Structure formats: C-alpha cells, structure tokens
Structure 1
Amino acid sequence: MAETAAEKDYYRFLVLFFNCLLTFGSYFCFDIPSVLQEQFQGNLTCPNGTHSNGTEQNGTVGCVEGLGMTPEEYNLLYAIYAWTNALVVIMAGFLIDKLGNRFGVFVFSFLTVLGSSIFALGSHFKGTPYLLPLMLTGRLLFGSGNGSLTIVQNRITAFWFKGKELALAFGLTLSFSRLGSVLNFFFTQQFESHFGIQWTLWGGTFLCVMGFLSAIAVSVLDRVGMKQLGMDGVIQQESKKVRVQDVRRLPLRYWLLVLTIMFFYNGVFPFVADASKFIQDKYPGYSQQTAAYIAGAVYDSSLVLSALVGILIDYVGLRGVFAVGCAVLTLPVFALLAFTFVPPLVSTIWLGITYSFAAASMWPSIPLVVPQATLGTAMGLATSVQMVGIGLSNVIVGRILGTKSSELKIPLWRWQQMMVFMLANTVACIVASVSLNIVDKKQGGTLNRMTKRSLPEPPARQPGDTAPLLSEEEGGGPIN
C-alpha cells in the first residue's frame, strides 16, 4: 500500500518546525523585563531631558527614564507569572486530556497573545495607579498560557516522534525556545534605545502573535496527518484523566526529585531576572547592553548544549549522579558573584552549563520513578511545585533588594544577601539530590542506569493506561 504523506519523515519534521515556533515568541517575551530592568525601575521623568544607561559618569549616576517601579514591584512581575503557571498547569493537563491537543494549543497560545498585549498596554499608563495592576494582569494571563503551552508542545512532539528521533525532537523544541530567550538578551536593549519601552513590549506581543499563527498551522497539520494515519482522536481516547487520588500513588523518590528540581530552579530563574541590573551595579564599566549579553549567556549555553546533553545522558544514564553534580558545581557560581570581582561572564556561562545538565537529567527522570498511569499527574504537579518555589524566590529577592526606588543603584550589600539566598537554595538542592540517590539505590538504582535498561519490557497496554506526553523509552518534560 502506498505510503501516506503523514507517514513520511518530511511531514513529521514539518509538524516539528511549527511546533518549535509555538514558544519562540513567548520565551522572548518572558525575559524582556530582565533586559530592561533599569527602564522598569527608572524615574518617571528626567530633568532637562537627559538620560543615560545608569552607569557612573564623573562620579554621578545618570537619570534613566522609565516606569517608576520599585525592585519589589519589578520582581512581583516574575512572581505572579510563576504562581499563575503553578495553578494552571495541573488544570491544563486535565483540559488537554479531555479536549485534545488542538484545543490546548489554540487556547494557550491565545492567552500568551492576550497577556502580552495587556502587559504592553499597561506601560502606557506610567505615573498612574493603573500601571501595576494592568501589567500584573498581563503577566498573569501570559503565565497561564505559556507554561501550559509547553506541555501541549511536548505532547505533540511525543506523538509524532515516539520511537523515532524523540530525544532529538525534544532537544530541538527546547533549543528553539532558548533561541527566543537568547535573541531577547541580544537585541531588546538596542530596540528599546531606538523606539522606547512601549514599542519594545508591543514587539514582544507581535512575536507571540507569530506563535499563535504557528499554533493554527500545527493544529491543521496534526488534524490532517492523524486522519491520514487513521488515528484521529487517538490521544484523547488513550489519555488517562487527571485524578486527585493519583497523588497518593507517587513514591518518595518522586517527591525528592521534585524538591531537587524546585531548589535548583529557585537559584536560576530569579537570578536571571535580576542579573542585568546586578552586573551594572557591581561591576564598573558595563553598559546596559553588555550586561544583557552577559546575563543571557545562561541561555546561550543552554541553546548550544540542550540537544547534545540530552543524547549524552540517554546514553550513559547516571541521572541521579548528574543531579548531585549540577547542584555541587553551581555553588561556586553564586559564591563568585557574591564575594569576588571575577568577570561575571565566567559565572553566567558556568551556570548555563550546569543548568543544561540539570534540565536534561532531572525532568526526564520523572517517568523512571512513577507508575506509567500517573505520569500526567506527576508532570503537572512537578511543574506546579517548581513554579510555586520560583514565585516565592522572586518575592524574597524583591524584599532583599528593597521596596523603594529612590536609589537608582542598589547597594552591593543587598546584592550579596541575594546571592547568599541563592547559595542557600543550592545547598538545599544538594541535600535533596543526595537523599534522592540514597533512596534510589535502595530501590534498585533505576535513575543511574541507561534509559533503555531502566524500564522493563512494556506489557500489553489497556485503553486509558497510556500517557501520550512521553514514550516509555525516553523521557521528556516541561524543561523550562
């Protein structure tokens, strides 16, 4: 019988191309505040129309015109994103199971467009009481869409590449997302210097619209391809509905793994959110643009290494060992930033490398420690706990850095306290990951075997007992 178009490799990779574009724009948008932190916290007006990038000149600090946020209010933009994400991802998993991938990809990509639009609109109300509520509302809607969109993206990838280049496909989707982050750190400051903060935020919205158009393309390709394969609706038929009682079936190793993930990411994301401002405040001679480049090096490393590291860990195993190693090797990063004047690029590249290995070793370990029937619940719950932790960390960092914006330059002692807080999270990550390895060894050492040897031969499946987000041979997850 003639091979259908949907069975050919080019069709699968066409689906993958548009699937990769789903989150390119939203990841670009997510860290725009990090690059423009000085503008978000800048003065509402500057005397005599003079502006600077905030670097010291002739012993004084120049005026930066901006939205007038305090450090606490600025960090709240990241906290509300994380908390909303934490609440929505569990409900999103249920909705996707019940209504299908095509419903999910449309709704959640639309929420990123709506959220980024309201966020950009809020910037036009600077100096009024409407600015912060509008921008927080925008980040709330944006967060409710972006995290859930990643889950749908992974499910579509798993369906089309199950048993065929799955590790490569997951690596490419993550790389495209990180490409959005990297380009943000390279170009956003230059764009803002020419067009202003309002048009910069609307530019981010335009990229989210491109993601929405990609969602339409993915929906059409997915529908046509599944019909040609005679499998229309198969994911919905096989999906296990998310049930609250499934939480009771999750083992101790899972909870230790969730804590390991949470504590590691508590150090990475809140640091990146404030890194550009930190570099300018502590290290002399760095412009806002250069500081943004250096902060973005965390994602540069991830962009380059994600696919290669995933394939390596699939081959050698040792996921538990890598989890401990990543946490231990992250300790010097925050120590260097807090107490030395070693060039910050060393620390951000270093953190990017450990982050790449952590993402590739921690998230794909979840399918190895939970029953297959509870995998969807486990992934959503792990993402939720991770986001709760990140949100709390953003709030704590905001309190540490100050509640007033009277000083354009945040004192060094406040930055040191922030880095000590990051060190504390990393130490907690080491404790959780070591405990994870101890428990795992007592229960057969599953995490430290190669993936293909970690799992028994799959028994005959029963309807409703599969988790289409992942195959049984290779794990993946919302590797943020």
Structure 2
Amino acid sequence: MSKPNLHGRTSGESQQTPSEEERYSHLLPNNSDFAPSLTPLIPRFISPKSSISQSTSPNSPLLTAQEEAEAFCRDNIPLDVTTPVPELHSTTQLWKYKLFALVFTLLISGSGTIVIIQETILAHWFKGSSLSLAIALQISTSRLSSFLSMGTAVPIAEWVGFYGAAFFISAVVCVLSFIANILYCYGIKKIQSDLEEDIIKRLLNKNNFNRRWILLFPVLYWLLLLDAFILSSGWTSFLHINSEFIKLKFRLDDAAAAWNASISQLVPVILVPFLGIYIDRSGRRSTLLITSSFLFLACIVILGYTGVSPIISMLLFSISLAIGPVCLITAITLVLPSKILGTGLGLYKSSQNVGSTIVDIWVGKLQDTGERIEPSVSDYDKVLIFYIFWNTLALITSKLIYTVEKRYYHSVLSVDQHSRKNTIQILEDTQVIPTISSETDIQRLKFSLTKNFSSTFPTL
C-alpha cells in the first residue's frame, strides 16, 4: 500500500501541485469592482522574495497551509496595484470637508454664545436666591439631551441607513429652541411695556459696560477661570474620545460603546438638581471643586490601567461632570457684581472654548504618534499620561482656590445661605469684591489699585 505524500495524495495519484490561483483565491476580494478577474491579479501579488517562495526551497522547513496564507498576506498583498485607491483629495470630498468645517464653526459659535446668555439671564433672575438650583436645572437639561444624543445617534443611523439622519433630528430640536427663545423675548417685551420709564432707564444703565472694569476683577475670579480652563478642557476632550477608547479596550461594537460612554451624561441629569439645592444651602463650593478634580483623576486611572467595567469609570466621570460646572458658575456669580457678571461669564465660556480647542488638538496629536495605521488601545498610552498630569494640575488649582478664599475672602464660596449675604456685604464694603455703579466708582477703584493694592487684590 502506497504512503501518502506531502500533498495528501498517494503515490498512484496525480502529483500535480495546485496553482497559485487555486491556493490563494480565497484571500482575494470578491467585489467585482476591486477584483474583476483573479488571473491577472495573481502574478502581481506574488513576489520572488516573498516568504512563500523562500519557504518552498529545498532547504527550507515546510509550512502549513495557514502559515503559507499568513506569509502570503504579509509579504505580497501590499504589492497589489490593481485595486483602485479612492481619491482622498478629490474636488467632491474637499468641498464636503469645507462645508462640514463651515457648519461646525456655526454650531460652535451658536452653542457658545447661547450658554453665556442663558447663564447671565439666570443670574439676573435668581442671584441671591436659589441660583445654584436654577443653574443645576439648566445643566441637567443639557446633560439629558447629550445623553440621549450620544446613545441614539448610532441606532438612528443604522435604522435609517444614513449616517446623517441624526443631524435632521438635531435640526428639528434647534427649530423648537428658536421658537422658545422667540416666546421668551416676547414675554420680556410685554413686561417692559408695563414698567415705568425711570425703571427702564435704570435697567438700561445697568447694562452699560466699560472695558476697564476687567482690571477690577478679583484674584479669586481669575483662579476660578484657570480652574475652568483646565477642568472644562479635560471634560470636553474626554467626552470626544471615551466612546472609541471603550470600544477598543473592551472590544465592543459601536452601539454598545456609545451606550457605555453615554452613562457619563446620565448621572448629571439626576444628581445636578439635588446638588444645586445642597450648594444653595450649605455652600462648600471650593471643597466640591477638589472632589470633582479627584474623581476625574480616579476615572482616568481606573479606565486606563485596570480591567474594571467601564461603567464604574463613567459613573465617576459623570459625578465630576455634575459637580464641577455648578460650583464654578455659581462661584463666579458670588465674586462679581451684577454689572460685570455678563462679562465674567463670557470670559468663563471663552476660557472653556480656548482650553477645549487646545487640548482637543493636543490629544489628537498624541494619538497620532503611534506606528499602527489601524486604531488600537496603544494609541492612547500617551493620552492617558497627559490626562493624569492635566487632572493633577486641576487638583492643585482647586486646592489653591480653597486656600485663597479661606484666607482672603472670608470663605465666601463655602459659607451657608444664612451667612452668605453678610459675607458678600463685608467683601463689597472692603472693595475685595468691587461695586460699580458709575464712572466715579471707576476712578475711586483705579485709585485703590495704586494706593491700596492689597485690599482690592489680596496678595498670595
């Protein structure tokens, strides 16, 4: 009885070796657009210096079918020049990119200004009475919409079959928001028509602004602005990458990764209103800022360097995201007078946008330093290190705010609702928090800057 040879045939059977087309045809694309014929492709795939050619020499060890296939893919598939390569810089795609950049610029411009206006309006109506709760409800509503959008964008695109379907739903929501703003303006116009003329003049005079007033902002405000720059840029950039990072590390599909990441937007919806009530009653803003920074740092460490479920990290991040904005916004309203509060909140929002732009670009650059073409978890190694450094810096800044407001500002950010008004009055009387009502106040405070600098801007 004859023995089978290396190809599994007996000596009596044909010794014909299968052709390259037969052996590797299953590795070639089936799409007719990219592989119209297998026969002309095979010669272009095979390289005389490939691992397969070398392995079939008399002195080379025999390879299994799987090893031959892997060697074929590794050495020869990149040599295929028949597969059409899309024109990445074609006129159509370039036009689409420019249109997207224009639309995104309009989006950022609108979303940035409307938040400033909303917070200023809330501070006008609720300053000194339940402002934290009002800001908390506004943030809670915003987080709810973000949670729904992050969780439903992928399912909507898959259901409709078009990735841009979610944009149409967003456009409908924007139209509803526009109608709500029109109704609010109409209501304010109606109220103004019922006011006396001298009251209207006082309100208009209150809205006058002098750019020199920026020099009168207290040191505590600038520290809050620095903390907002660090924390907000970290929050925003992390929200942009958390879904992809969870997908790569835990090997989830797009929908599951999106829902896991959207948990970061869920807890603020529930927690923020209760947090606003707590802050209104007990204060403790500087302590809560330290807590927010620490939770963000813990989220990065757990998500990046442990195998714990991403839900835990997203819950920690969402608590940080709930605490920080409420404390920062309400703290700014306490250290600035009403006349310059809109400017203060505008600078606050600008610091957020500038920080987000810088950190987003930097995080993207850190991701691109890897050698792999396809996205992988290793692309985020330097990103995680950066976030640890960035959150440590936020933790130090929050601790500095805690020390300064305790030592120089009579704990204005930490006192409860019963002591808050008296504390603010003391700070205004000593011009630690400036009061501005006329041009005379400008000259008086300008003199104070030169003659009594320590009383207006306490030294550290």
TM range (shorter): 0.5 to 0.7
Residue 323 of structure 1: SS of its match in structure 2? helix
- Does the CA-based 8 Å contact 1:253-1:439 persist in structure 2? yes
In the alignment, which of 407, 432, 441 is matched to residue 406 of structure 2? 441
- Counterpart-to-counterpart distance in 2, 1:325 and 1:335: 15
How is 1:135-146 mapped onto 2 (pairs within 5 angstroms)? 135-146=100-111
Q: Within the alignment, does 1:253 sit opposite 2:212 as a pair?
A: no
After superposition, the Cα gap between the structure-2 partners of 1:452 and 1:263, relative to the gap in structure 1 and judged at 3 Å, is: farther
Q: Within the alignment, does 1:130 sit opposite 2:134 as a pair?
A: no
In the alignment, which of 274, 278, 291 is matched to residue 241 of structure 2? 274
Give 1:162 deviation, angstroms. 5.8
- Does the CA-based 8 Å contact 2:370-2:379 persist in structure 1? no
Counterpart in the other structure of 1:199: 165
- Counterpart-to-counterpart distance in 1, 2:356 and 2:368: 18
How is 1:192-231 mapped onto 2 (pairs within 5 angstroms)? 192-195=157-160, 196-228=162-194
- Counterpart-to-counterpart distance in 2, 1:235 and 1:157: 19
User: Could you give the per-residue CA deviations for residues 87-145 of structure 1, whole angstroms, max 9, x where no partner exists?
Assistant: xxxxxxxxxxxxxxxxxxxxxxxxxxxxxxxxxxxxxx996111222111111111111
Give 1:372 deviation, angstroms. 4.5
In the alignment, which of 229, 232, 237 is matched to residue 265 of structure 1? 232
After superposition, the Cα gap between the structure-2 partners of 1:435 and 1:341, relative to the gap in structure 1 and judged at 3 Å, is: same
Give 1:388 deviation, angstroms. 0.6
Deviates more, 1:390-399 or 1:287-296: 287-296
Counterpart in the other structure of 2:3: none
- Counterpart-to-counterpart distance in 2, 1:363 and 1:186: 27
Give 1:191 deviation, angstroms. 0.6
Counterpart in the other structure of 2:112: 147
Counterpart in the other structure of 1:333: 299
- Counterpart-to-counterpart distance in 2, 1:311 and 1:333: 26
After superposition, the Cα gap between the structure-2 partners of 1:159 and 1:360, relative to the gap in structure 1 and judged at 3 Å, is: closer
Give 1:282 deviation, angstroms. 0.9
- Counterpart-to-counterpart distance in 2, 1:277 and 1:48: 32
TM-score normalized with structure 2 length: 0.68
- Does the CA-based 8 Å contact 2:263-2:314 persist in structure 1? yes
Residue 455 of structure 1: SS of its match in structure 2? helix
- Counterpart-to-counterpart distance in 1, 2:202 and 2:295: 40
- Counterpart-to-counterpart distance in 1, 2:227 and 2:322: 15
Counterpart in the other structure of 1:418: 383
After superposition, the Cα gap between the structure-2 partners of 1:213 and 1:403, relative to the gap in structure 1 and judged at 3 Å, is: farther
- Counterpart-to-counterpart distance in 1, 2:306 and 2:136: 35
In the alignment, which of 322, 327, 343 is matched to residue 377 of structure 1? 343
- Counterpart-to-counterpart distance in 2, 1:385 and 1:270: 14
Counterpart in the other structure of 2:275: 309
- Counterpart-to-counterpart distance in 2, 1:253 and 1:162: 19
Residue 388 of structure 1: SS of its match in structure 2? helix
- Counterpart-to-counterpart distance in 1, 2:127 and 2:334: 17
In the alignment, which of 204, 207, 216 is matched to residue 240 of structure 1? 207
Counterpart in the other structure of 1:354: 320
Give 1:451 deviation, angstroms. 4.4
Give 1:229 deviation, angstroms. 5.4
Give 1:355 deviation, angstroms. 1.6
After superposition, the Cα gap between the structure-2 partners of 1:228 and 1:380, relative to the gap in structure 1 and judged at 3 Å, is: same
Give 1:403 deviation, angstroms. 8.2
- Counterpart-to-counterpart distance in 2, 1:277 and 1:446: 41
TM-score normalized with structure 1 length: 0.65
Residue 308 of structure 2: SS of its match in structure 1? coil
- Does the CA-based 8 Å contact 2:290-2:399 persist in structure 1? yes
Residue 163 of structure 2: SS of its match in structure 1? helix
Deviates more, 1:228-237 or 1:440-449: 228-237
The CA RMSD over aligned residues, in Å, is 3.4
How is 1:166-181 mapped onto 2 (pairs within 5 angstroms)? 166-181=131-146
Give 1:341 deviation, angstroms. 1.7
- Counterpart-to-counterpart distance in 1, 2:383 and 2:32: 35
How many residues are treated as equivalent by the alignment? 349
Give 1:351 deviation, angstroms. 0.6
Counterpart in the other structure of 1:386: 352
- Counterpart-to-counterpart distance in 2, 1:243 and 1:385: 20
Give 1:379 deviation, angstroms. 1.6
Tell me the amino acid that sits aligned with residue 439 of structure 1. V
After superposition, the Cα gap between the structure-2 partners of 1:370 and 1:173, relative to the gap in structure 1 and judged at 3 Å, is: closer
Counterpart in the other structure of 2:253: 287
Residue 413 of structure 2: SS of its match in structure 1? helix
- Does the CA-based 8 Å contact 1:237-1:464 persist in structure 2? no
After superposition, the Cα gap between the structure-2 partners of 1:164 and 1:343, relative to the gap in structure 1 and judged at 3 Å, is: same
- Counterpart-to-counterpart distance in 2, 1:406 and 1:153: 44
After superposition, the Cα gap between the structure-2 partners of 1:47 and 1:305, relative to the gap in structure 1 and judged at 3 Å, is: farther
Specify the structure having the higher radius of gyration (Cα): 2
Residue 243 of structure 2: SS of its match in structure 1? helix
- Does the CA-based 8 Å contact 2:295-2:319 persist in structure 1? no
After superposition, the Cα gap between the structure-2 partners of 1:270 and 1:360, relative to the gap in structure 1 and judged at 3 Å, is: same
- Does the CA-based 8 Å contact 1:440-1:446 persist in structure 2? yes
In the alignment, which of 335, 340, 364 is matched to residue 398 of structure 1? 364
- Does the CA-based 8 Å contact 2:296-2:320 persist in structure 1? yes
- Does the CA-based 8 Å contact 2:132-2:326 persist in structure 1? no
After superposition, the Cα gap between the structure-2 partners of 1:308 and 1:248, relative to the gap in structure 1 and judged at 3 Å, is: same
- Does the CA-based 8 Å contact 1:266-1:390 persist in structure 2? yes
Tell me the amino acid that sits aligned with residue 270 of structure 2. V
Tell me the amino acid that sits aligned with residue 151 of structure 1. I
Tell me the amino acid that sits aligned with residue 259 of structure 1. L
- Counterpart-to-counterpart distance in 2, 1:363 and 1:389: 17
Give 1:300 deviation, angstroms. 0.5
Counterpart in the other structure of 2:65: none
Counterpart in the other structure of 1:342: 308
- Counterpart-to-counterpart distance in 1, 2:250 and 2:153: 21
- Does the CA-based 8 Å contact 1:253-1:436 persist in structure 2? yes
Percent of counterpart pairs with the same letter? 23
User: Could you give the per-residue CA deviations for residues 335-380 of structure 1, whole angstroms, max 9, x where no partner exists?
Assistant: 1122112111110111101221112222211122334443222221
Counterpart in the other structure of 1:5: none
